[in-house]
Amino acid sequence: MPEFLSVAGLSRELDTHRTSALRGAVRAEVDGHGNLVGLELDAVAVRGAHPQVLGGEIVRAVAAARAAASERRRRALASVLPGMPS
């Protein structure tokens, strides 16, 4: 992980960083702030999927991507804010 020199530098990096997670037939992508910026569904799997199953995969993929982005953001903040646990 890069060492950030300032909170402004960190904010710029979080604006452009992307994290993704694959769960079943779903790939979710979020930015460094956890905002959903992309969602891909496997066409073959979607055709035969039950809506509740597919919905659950979407929720889990988005949650996993957001969790990864949150952890990365926490570590990045710890690198620029003294005394914050890393």
pLDDT at 86: 58
pTM of the model: 0.78
pLDDT tens-digit readout, 20-72: 887 888 999 999 889 999 999 988 878 888 888 889 999 999 999 999 999 98
pLDDT at 62: 93
pLDDT at 32: 87
Q: Which helix (H) or strand (E) holds 19?
A: strand 18-23
Q: Which CATH topology does 7-78 take? A: Ybab; Chain: A; (3.30.1310)
pLDDT at 1: 43
